[in-house]
Amino acid sequence: MVINSFNFLFFFIILFVVYYFPLRNNTNAQNVWLLVTSYVFYGITDLRMLPVLLISTVVFYVIGLLIRQSTSTAASFLTTLGVVAGVGMLLYFKYLNFFIGSFAALITSIGLQVNPITLSIIFPLGISFFTFRLISYVIEVNRGKIEPTRDFVAFATYIAFFPTLLAGPIDRPNDFIPQLRLPRLFDYDLAMDGTRQILWGIFKKMVIADNMGLFLGSVWGDVASQNATTLLIAALVFPSQLYTDFSGYSDMAIGVGKILGIRVAINFRYPFFARNVAEYWRSWHMSLTTWVTDYVFMPLNVRFREWGTTGLLLAIIINMIVIGIWHGANWTYAVFGLYHGLLFIPLVLSGTFARKKKLQANRYGLPYRSDFLKMIGTYLLVAFGLIIFNALSMEQAVVFMKGLFQFSNLTNFTAEGLRMLALSLLFMILALIAEWRQRDKEYALQIDSLVPRKAARFAIYWVLLIITVLFSGEEQVFIYMQF
Amino acid sequence: MTPMKKYLTEIVFCFLLPALLIAAVAEYSLRKIPNDYAFKNQWLTKNSRDVEVLALGASSILYDVDPTYFSSKGFNAAHFSQSLKYDHFIYNKFIEQMPSLEYVIMGVDFWTPFGDIEDSPEWWRVKYYNIHYGSNYYRWLGKYNFELYFRDIPTFKRATNGFLSLLGLKEETNVAVNENGHGLHYTLENRADNWDNGEFEAARHNTLIIEGLHDSLIEQNRQYMEEIIRKSAERGVKVLLVNVPLYVSYRDTQNREFLKQQKDFCTYFVKEYNNVQFYDFSDDPRFTEEDFYDANHLNDIGTRKFTLFLDSIMVHQSSPLMTKNLLENDQQF
């Protein structure tokens, strides 16, 4: 069940009615209801993997309780056990076949015969997201940042909260679990804000990402026979598709959370206005980057401190590789991470790595030219990295990059394909203008102060709704659901 | 007003209800625009008692057979890309009310044994059988039941025209057949300069067959055809299986193996049932360039000629020879 479907709408209406009518004065019952519906949601999506979610939830819940009751050494051991169990789950379900294949390739390359056995392992949807929540919980408990919860329902709801279960954002226990202890009476402003954010997410996903997806699907489906122009356009368009697809999902998830009175972690903060790669990563998939920063980069940075700048760079590069391979078992993701890690080198050496300079508009309300050029440059660097990211293999990425220099007059566009692409680009530009104007807000459609009159705001929502109905592309699967 | 009441009131009355109302009016307006499916269903519901010749099939029959030229009362119930499942449905729906029926003409194109409109690029036509003919296939799937499944600008433009028609301010129609169900507009006058698209069309059909090929579908189509033939036999109705005239470019690009299977499909029924005859006009030299609208459809001149041939067969009850010849020439495939 995908979040932008009619099935989800019916599911959510039932959830909403029960949540806010019979259960409105009973926080515990609301939590139980959220948990049950989250499991139903996951079960409908993939029933086979529900036991994995259930068992891992129970195991980490117990580990959390044991950590608090243990001595410091035992607590560290239990935390390590939890981290190993979480990473082990990921390794087994996501990476085992990749390791077997890579090992077999290595053996074969030195001239030995090998017949690798690939295991038939089901890939559990959302595993990368809920595993990181589980790991985060035991680490935070061990660090003493949170008390281990005795409320199993609240803990399990945190792990399985349905809007974020399949594609994030990755909430942190410190922010999420305490919300489940508070009474959740209906909040009009929050719910209206959430509804509006869902509308903005649906617009980005269905009008921009899905229309771009049709074009990009045809290009990536047959990279070898595309000409340079087509490949160049595909390379330039893909960051926009990925952004509108993933941030669209995040907006919908956050919006659903708000309607239920729960604040979900912010995942994007206008990454295309980033003036360098460091800014980009501070505003892209923020729930993952902050997670990896806290649990990978910071410990490494402390460990490598004595090596000075070299140590910092090493920590950053390892950090970026971890972010890369979090996406899946493929060399492309590792190389993608390494590429971004290398892009940090000039930033670290010039000292601009950690500098946070607020974006300012010139007297016309536009970005300053120097900022604008830096934004374009960052976009191009990101677009290049995403060629590697989106390729099925390094070989395909190389074919794509070589193809960028194979000039010919032939174009592979059909009239319909060109129309859809032009349309989605037009809406992308309009969305970016709206985002620039609203860059201080959580998302672009948060227009209460810009348009104070309610009737005018509702008219804008209607326009967006009509555009979504009329121009939505053929439904494409959310890209980040595969991770 | 409580916050919840305020929220629900705004969502329901400012968005949900207006949106539902617009959608309902648009869907209703679209359904009320007259089209071929609605026309043929209404015509058959009203006049099936008089029908002596019923033509079923896809566009080749829709455009190549004009019952106006039959000596007896005929009706063309073919539609674009109509596969045997829907021939079978229409036949079953009306056969009990056709006491005068003497002949059923079944178009058997080379893709017919493998054809399934639901898996073809023309799947969007399935909804018309549900909406207008009252078939009950896939009632839970929106794409097979709602005009508004396509929510693009042309659809809403049509809906607006439909709505204006309902108000009597405009006359919108999508009926493109004559009073006997024959498809209009495929005339010599309307023929495009680059009308010979045979290689492309046949290659496209070859690909579609390959993409949708599976044995169970062939068996299912055989059963649909068999039931039509069996029920016809019980009523003393003859069935003519017809492969329409094709232009050389189309004919030469057809996959040989599929052609053989098409022929086997037809000869099976000819052998098994006395009321069946198979006529293959695909390379009939009497049809020349001037008779075609495109490589696999006839124009008005060709249609007249072809319909009169069919009429002659029915009137004179001749042609066991043609069938026999065809059976004897098996080895040519």
Could you say which residues from 139 to 158 on chain B have a Cβ atom under 8 Å away from some Cβ of chain A? 151-153, 156
Host H or E run for residue B297: strand B297-298
CA distance A345 to A278: 10
B321 pLDDT more than 80: no
Residues of chain A contacting B146 with CB distance shorter than 8 Å: none
Contact between A188 and B19 using a beta-carbon 8 Å cutoff: no
Cα(A114)–Cα(A427) distance, integer angstroms:
52
Residue A78 in contact with residue A85, Cβ under 8 Å? no
Q: What is the pTM of this model?
A: 0.82
Task: Report which DSSP code applies to A147.
Answer: P
Shortest Cα distance, chain B CAs vs residue A14, angstroms: 14
- Give the per-residue pLDDT at B297: 96
d(CA B168, CA A177): 61
Q: Do residues A424 and A207 lie in contact, with contact meaning Cβ atoms separated by under 8 Å? A: yes
Per-residue exposure over A398-416, b if at least 16 CB sit within 10 Å of its own CB, e if not? eebbebbeeeeeeeebeee
Are B152 and A465 inside 8 Å of each other by CB? no
CA distance A228 to A404: 4
Q: What is the pLDDT of residues B153-204, one digit of tens each?
A: 888 889 999 999 999 998 899 999 999 999 999 999 999 999 999 999 999 9
Q: Do A186 and B152 touch (CB under 8 A)?
A: no
The whole-angstrom separation of Cα A431 and Cα A62 is 46
pLDDT of residue B78: 98
Could you tell me how many helices (H) and strands (E) chain B has, helices first? Answer: 13, 7
The secondary structure element, H or E, covering residue A235 is: helix A228-259
CA–CA separation, B298 vs B306, rounded Å? 9
C-beta atoms of B15 and A470 within 8 A? no
Judge whether B185 and B174 are in contact, CB under 8 Å: no
- Counting Cα atoms < 13 Å in the Cβ hemisphere of A153 gives 14
- Assess A307–B contact: CB distance below 8 Å, yes or no: no
Cα angle B197, B198, B203; round to 5: 110
With an 8 Å Cβ cutoff, are B4 and A462 in contact? Answer: no
Per CB-CB distance under 8 Å, the chain A contacts of B19 are 465
Nearest chain A Cα to B150, which residue?
A: A470
CA dist A202 and A384 (Å) reads 27
Query: Which residues in A lie closer than 8 A to residue B14 (C-beta atoms)?
Result: 458
| pLDDT reported for residue B328 | 45
Q: Count chain A–chain B contacts defined by CB atoms under 8 A.
A: 28
Helix (H) or strand (E) holding A470: helix A454-471
Instruction: Note whether B3 contacts A469, CB cutoff 8 Å.
Output: no
Q: Which domains does chain B have, with CATH numbers?
A: 35-135+172-315 (3.40.50.1110)
pLDDT at A118: 57
Q: What's the Cα-to-Cα distance from A479 to each of A1, A268, A291, A387, A396, rounded to whole Å? A: 15, 16, 20, 15, 19
Query: Comparing A441 with B317, which gets the higher pLDDT?
Result: A441
Residue among A238, A267, A268, A247 nearest A201 (CA): A247
At a CB cut-off of 8 Å and minimum separation 6, what does A438 contact?
A: A444, A445, A446, A447, A450
Distance CA B176, CA B190 (A): 14
Rounded average pLDDT over B221-235: 96
Distance between CA atoms of A192 and A179, rounded to whole angstroms?
A: 19
Which residues of chain A fall short of a pLDDT of 50?
none
Degrees, nearest 5: CA angle A298-A304-A305:
85
Write out the H or E segment, with its range, that includes residue B76: strand B74-76
Q: 141-200 in A: which are within 8 Å (CB) of B?
A: 186-188, 191-192, 195
B152 to chain A nearest CA, in Å? 5
Residues of B in contact with A186 (CB under 8 A): 2-4, 7
- In whole angstroms, give the CA distance from residue A154 to residue A156: 6
B62-90 as b/e: b if 16+ CB within 10 A? bbbbbbebbeebbbbbbbebbbbbbbbbb
Cα-to-chain-centroid distance, residue B204: 18
Q: Report the C-alpha dihedral over residues A125, A129, A132, A138, rounded to 10 degrees.
A: -90
Inform me whether the C-beta atom of residue B14 falls under 8 Å from chain A C-beta atoms.
yes
Closest CA to A477 of A248, A147, A183, A174: A248
C-alpha to C-alpha distance for A128 and A130, rounded to whole angstroms: 6
Q: Can you say how many angstroms the Cα of residue A141 is from the centroid of all Cα atoms in its chain?
A: 25
Distance from CA of B16 to the nearest CA of A (A): 11
Distances in Å between the Cα of B125 and the Cα atoms of A298, A390, B27, B81, B130 are 60, 36, 15, 9, 9
User: Are the C-beta atoms of residues A124 and A93 closer than 8 Å to each other?
Assistant: yes
Q: Which residue of A has its CA nearest to B151?
A: A470
Please compute, for residue A78, the number of CA atoms within 13 A of its CA located in the half-sphere on the CB side. Answer: 23
Helix axes B36-47, B84-94, angle to 10 degrees: 30
> Is A177 within 8 Å of A158 (Cβ atoms)?
yes
* ipTM for the whole complex: 0.85
Catalytic positions of A, please? Answer: 327
β-strand partners of B104: B54, B239
B121 at interface of A, judged by CB pairs closer than 8 A: no
More confident residue, B255 or B139: B255
The answer to whether A458 contacts B7, with C-beta atoms less than 8 Å apart, is: no
What percent of chain B has a predicted confidence (pLDDT) above 90? 81
- Confidence at residue B333, expressed as pLDDT on a 0 to 100 scale: 28
Straight-line distance from the first to the last Cα atom of chain A, in angstroms, rounded to the nearest whole number: 16
Chain A's closest residue to B15, CA to CA, is: A462
H or E element at residue A159? helix A152-160
> Closest residue of B to A20, CA-based?
B4
**Which pair of tokens denotes residue A130?**
């809920």
Measured distance CA(A124)–CA(B62) in Å, rounded: 50
β-pairing, B276-280 vs B74-76, is unpaired
Residue with the two structure tokens 């109302």: B21
Query: Of A348, A234, A343, which Cα lies nearest the Cα of A280?
Result: A343
Distance (Å, whole) CA A24 – CA B3: 13
Residue B123: Cβ within 10 Å count? 14
User: How far away is chain B from the Cα of A43, in angstroms, using its nearest Cα?
Assistant: 22
Structure tokens that stand for B45 in this block = 């519901």
Specify whether the CB–CB gap between B74 and B44 falls below 8 A.
no
How is residue B223 written in tokens?
Answer: 């059963």
| B15–A472 CB contact, under 8 Å | no
- What is the helix (H) or strand (E) element at residue A158, kind and residue range? helix A152-160
Query: Phi and psi of B173, rounded to 5°?
Result: -145, 145
B156 neighbourhood in chain A, CB within 8 Å: 470
Chain B residues with CB inside 8 Å of A470's CB? Answer: 151-153, 156
Helical segments of chain B, H only: 3-9, 17-32, 36-47, 59-64, 84-94, 126-128, 153-166, 198-212, 215-234, 248-253, 256-272, 300-316, 320-328
Interchain contact, B4 vs A470, CB within 8 Å: no
Q: Which residues of A touch B15 (CB under 8 A)?
A: 461-462, 465
Give the pairing of strands B276-280 and B292-294.
unpaired
Please check whether residue A200 is in contact with residue A286, taking contact to mean a CB–CB distance below 8 angstroms: no
